[in-house]
């Protein structure tokens, strides 16, 4: 694969019991790239992403960060995860903490910055997404779209090198999808390296530098949107024209 | 921020615990003490007068202690525990109207006997029972572990066993049982205080009383026998007897039984109140007992919280990360054993076996027993609270680079506590009421206080109601406090 990849998986295999969910997938992302992982439900897209930050333990294959295998020790993983952030389908904001504390918790506890620095940064980030007045509110008081944007900003607070998005808009009402996708466009424009699992094929065609299409745990195609659009693979044509 | 509220409550609780524990450290083993155990519901040999235990046995041992320059300490406990107490060294001597039997001789040594006594049958005035055979098939009450108990069990049937003779008589008076088999002297006392019952003019068995001393204390036995002989010779024995029995062996100083006028219900209730609580300052038993109950419950709650929290964290960490295998195994054993045995049995084991030959404060024993017991249930409650927290919370924490421990402390545990506050509150309410069994180790708590009043007045209604009401009030207050805590924590949501 490409030596410029910041983050990649090689021949990734994941089995749950007898069921082989991922069967030798290799995917990578370069600095500043936006890569979308698409495919039918059950294709293993989320599992690939969760293997990337070891929320699932790969059964086989490698995960490489800057070309080196990830240090899977207790400290090694914590350090790695501080550089590879994740945004979840169900937001997973810390329910017992205020919005401000949600954002400052990790930077402070991981020793990245002092409490005052973290708060300043957090307020700045909140201002950027227009939610500064929600700093003292609690997650249960926010709408879905607001929660997800806070979740993105929480991940950004760690100054990650890569951001993984696991179906960021799948749990949102249609009218809130837009505000989240706008934020993602902004991040892409500012040069963030992003890997996105999504069902939104239109968004993928618009934003992605490359689209990786998975089916039955295997990689079907890995190409820029223009190439995908011109593909004669019936399965791909079918998938993309449903939208 | 919720963290501050937790810290406030924790500080308050710790302050209380410190206060209580400093008052716990009482009994140190001193030289020059004579510890006597007895079941003080056996007039005229041992019974309560106010808060003092008096009677033939009590006065006798008091005199023996005085003559040998020892300080007497009397402990009241269930009759069937007094011999065990002497055997395990918890007490020096048991003087409780104990009948000399061959079986008992195998366990302890007896002093020279000091009185001959009979086992007699008490029945209601209108009963048609005339002797042991006519008792067969009817409900017979005895005091647990006495020779009366043994006689009935061996010769007739399984009797109904009561903690003390007075409770058996109370049952007879209210018609719950048909007969009571008891030693003659206390039987006379009970009959003198209760019109409506009488003693059958026949002795079932004749026996002798003596005091019980451990087989490993021959010098103590010799001291007792020597002093008793002296007291017989110089007339002190007779003098003690004369305080309680007249020359026919009938009890003295019997309170005149009032003629039962036809009083209205309220008047009778007022009388009952006066007899049970006002007379002889009997309400002291309830108040003192109440303080003991609160002390034990509060300290045990704190202990249970600490133990339960630690165990829950170890178990959860093991389930989620696979670490602490050995610790987890130990926790597993602790949980299984403690939850698999009744708390009463645990209390008795801790008192008689674990602290068997050590002189410790009974309050401390009770706190340890109930604290350790509660800890097991609290552990599983907290663990279920931890498991109930959405797994996405832990995933989010870890994916930001936070360690397992930090995520637990900052995110999971606070949510877990909020989840289980109702269940924890429930556990503490249960604990408060469970402490009512500490009378088994002769600890005078609220329930035992009610028992003592009952054994003096033969009245079941008011003492029991008073005890129940006190527990109820405490539980209601506790529930309100918990509700306040829950609400202050919920303030942060919605």
CATH top-level class of B33-112+210-254: alpha beta
Q: Residue B396 and residue A93: Cβ atoms within 8 Å?
A: yes
Q: Is B4 within 8 Å of chain A by CB? A: no
Q: Would you place residue B212 in the very low, low, confident or very high pLDDT band (cuts 50, 70, 90)?
A: very high
Does the pLDDT of residue B168 top 80, yes or no? yes
Does the pLDDT of residue B10 top 70, yes or no? no
Domains of chain A, earliest start first: 5-93+163-242 (3.40.50.300)
- pLDDT value at position A66? 93
The per-residue pLDDT of chain B, averaged, comes to 85
- Indicate whether this complex's ipTM tops 0.90: yes
Burial class (CB in 10 A: 0-12, 13-18, 19+), B412: buried
- pLDDT value at position B493? 60
Q: Is B154 helix (H, G, I), strand (E, B) or coil?
A: helix
Contacts of B367 (CB under 8 A, 6+ apart): B24, B296, B299, B300, B303
- pLDDT value at position A233? 81
Architecture of domain B2-24+283-490 in this structure? Orthogonal Bundle (1.10)
Q: Is B391 within 8 Å of chain A by CB? A: no
Q: Would you place residue B13 in the very low, low, confident or very high pLDDT band (cuts 50, 70, 90)?
A: low
Compute the nearest-CA separation of A236 from chain B (Å): 32
Does the pLDDT of residue B66 top 80, yes or no? yes
- pLDDT value at position B461? 81
Domains B33-112+210-254 and B115-208 share a fold: yes
- Tell me the pLDDT tens digit for each residue of A57-105: 999 999 999 999 999 998 999 999 999 999 999 999 999 999 999 999 9
Contacts of B207 (CB under 8 A, 6+ apart): B99, B100, B101, B116, B117, B118, B119, B147
Does the pLDDT of residue B492 top 80, yes or no? no
**Rounded distance, CA A30 to CA B18, Å?**
61
Per-residue pLDDT, averaged over B300-329, amounts to 92
Per-residue pLDDT, averaged over A176-188, amounts to 94
Q: Would you place residue B76 in the very low, low, confident or very high pLDDT band (cuts 50, 70, 90)?
A: confident
Q: Would you place residue B5 in the very low, low, confident or very high pLDDT band (cuts 50, 70, 90)?
A: low
Least confident of B170-174, B244-248, B300-304, B423-427: B244-248
Does the pLDDT of residue B356 top 80, yes or no? no
Percent of chain B with pLDDT over 70: 89
CATH top-level class of B115-208: alpha beta
Q: Tell how far CA B317 is from the center of its chain.
A: 39
Q: What is the chain B residue with the closest CA to A110?
A: B402
**Rounded distance, CA A130 to CA B448, Å?**
66
DSSP letter at B421 equals H
Does the pLDDT of residue B34 top 70, yes or no? yes
Q: Residue A88 and residue B392: Cβ atoms within 8 Å?
A: yes
Those residues of chain A whose CB sits closer than 8 Å to some CB in chain B are 53, 55, 74, 78-83, 85-86, 88, 90, 92-98, 101, 105-106, 109-110, 138, 140-141, 151, 154-155, 158
Does the pLDDT of residue A239 top 90, yes or no? no
- Tell me the pLDDT tens digit for each residue of B416-467: 998 898 899 989 999 999 999 988 887 889 998 888 887 777 677 888 899 9
**Domain residue spans in chain B?**
2-24+283-490, 33-112+210-254, 115-208
Top pLDDT among B137 and A243 is at B137
Q: Is A41 helix (H, G, I), strand (E, B) or coil?
A: coil
């Amino acid at each position: 694969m490409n030596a410029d990849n910041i983050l990649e998986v090689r021949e990734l295999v994941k089995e749950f019991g007898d069921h082989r969910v991922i069967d030798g997938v290799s995917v990578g992302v370069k600095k500043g790239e936006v890569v979308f992982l698409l495919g039918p439900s059950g294709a293993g897209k989320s599992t690939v992403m969760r293997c990337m930050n070891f929320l699932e333990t790969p059964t086989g294959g490698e995960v490489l960060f800057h070309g080196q295998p990830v240090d899977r020790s207790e400290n090694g993983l914590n350090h790695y995860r501080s550089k590879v952030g994740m945004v979840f389908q169900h937001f997973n904001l810390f329910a017992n903490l205020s919005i401000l504390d949600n954002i400052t918790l990790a930077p402070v506890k991981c020793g990245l910055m002092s409490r005052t620095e973290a708060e300043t940064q957090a307020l700045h980030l909140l201002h950027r997404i227009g939610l500064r007045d929600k700093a003292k509110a609690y997650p249960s008081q926010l709408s879905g779209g607001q929660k997800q944007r806070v979740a993105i900003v929480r991940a950004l607070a760690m100054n990650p090198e890569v951001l993984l998005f696991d179906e960021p808009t799948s749990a949102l009402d249609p009218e809130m999808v837009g505000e989240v996708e706008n934020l993602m466009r902004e991040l892409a424009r500012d040069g963030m390296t992003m890997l996105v699992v999504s069902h939104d094929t239109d968004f993928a065609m618009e934003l992605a530098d490359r689209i990786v299409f998975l089916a039955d745990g295997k990689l079907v195609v890995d190409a820029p949107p223009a190439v995908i659009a011109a593909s004669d693979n019936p399965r791909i044509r079918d998938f993309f024209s449903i939208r | 921020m919720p963290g501050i509220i937790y810290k406030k409550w924790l500080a308050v609780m710790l302050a209380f615990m410190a206060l209580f524990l400093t008052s716990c450290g009482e009994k140190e083993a001193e030289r020059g003490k004579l510890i006597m155990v007895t079941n003080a519901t056996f007039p005229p040999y041992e019974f309560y007068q106010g808060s003092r235990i008096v009677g033939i046995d009590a006065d006798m041992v008091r005199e023996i202690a005085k003559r040998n320059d020892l300080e007497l300490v009397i402990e009241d406990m269930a009759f069937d525990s007094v011999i065990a107490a002497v055997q395990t060294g918890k007490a020096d001597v048991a003087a409780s109207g104990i009948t000399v039997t061959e079986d008992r001789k195998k366990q302890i040594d007896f002093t020279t006997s000091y009185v001959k006594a009979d086992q007699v049958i008490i029945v209601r005035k209108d009963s048609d029972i005339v002797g042991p055979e006519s008792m067969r098939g009817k409900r017979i009450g005895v005091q647990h572990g006495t020779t009366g108990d043994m006689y009935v069990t061996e010769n007739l049937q399984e009797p109904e066993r009561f903690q003390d003779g007075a409770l058996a008589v109370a049952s007879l008076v209210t018609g719950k049982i048909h007969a009571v088999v008891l030693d003659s002297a206390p039987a006379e006392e009970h009959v003198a205080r209760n019109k409506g019952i009488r003693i059958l003019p026949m002795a079932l068995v004749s026996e002798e009383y003596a005091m019980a001393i451990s087989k490993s204390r021959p010098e103590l036995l010799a001291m007792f026998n020597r002093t008793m002989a002296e007291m017989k010779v110089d007339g002190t024995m007779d003098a003690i007897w004369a305080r309680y029995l007249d020359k026919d062996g009938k009890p003295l100083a019997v309170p005149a039984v009032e003629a039962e006028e036809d009083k209205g219900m309220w008047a009778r209730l007022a009388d009952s109140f006066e007899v049970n609580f006002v007379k002889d300052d009997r309400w002291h038993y309830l108040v003192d007992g109440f303080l003991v109950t609160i002390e034990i419950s509060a300290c045990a709650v704190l202990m249970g919280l600490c133990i339960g929290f630690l165990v829950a964290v170890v178990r959860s960490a093991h389930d989620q990360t696979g670490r602490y295998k050995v610790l987890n195994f130990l926790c597993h054993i602790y949980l299984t054993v403690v939850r698999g045995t009744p708390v009463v049995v645990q209390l008795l084991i801790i008192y008689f076996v674990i602290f068997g030959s050590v002189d410790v404060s009974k309050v401390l024993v009770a706190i340890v027993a109930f604290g350790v017991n509660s800890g097991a249930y609290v552990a599983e409650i907290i663990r279920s609270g931890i498991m109930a927290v959405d797994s996405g919370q832990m995933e989010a924490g870890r994916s930001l680079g936070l360690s397992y421990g930090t995520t637990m402390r900052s995110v999971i545990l606070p949510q877990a506590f909020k989840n289980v506050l109702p269940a924890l509150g429930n556990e503490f309410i249960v604990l408060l009421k469970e402490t009512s069994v500490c009378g088994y180790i002769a600890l005078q708590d609220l329930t035992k206080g009610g028992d003592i009043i009952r054994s003096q007045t033969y009245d079941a209604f008011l003492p029991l109601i008073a005890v129940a009401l006190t527990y109820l009030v405490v539980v209601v207050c506790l529930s309100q406090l918990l509700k306040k805590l829950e609400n202050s924590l919920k303030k942060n949501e919605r």
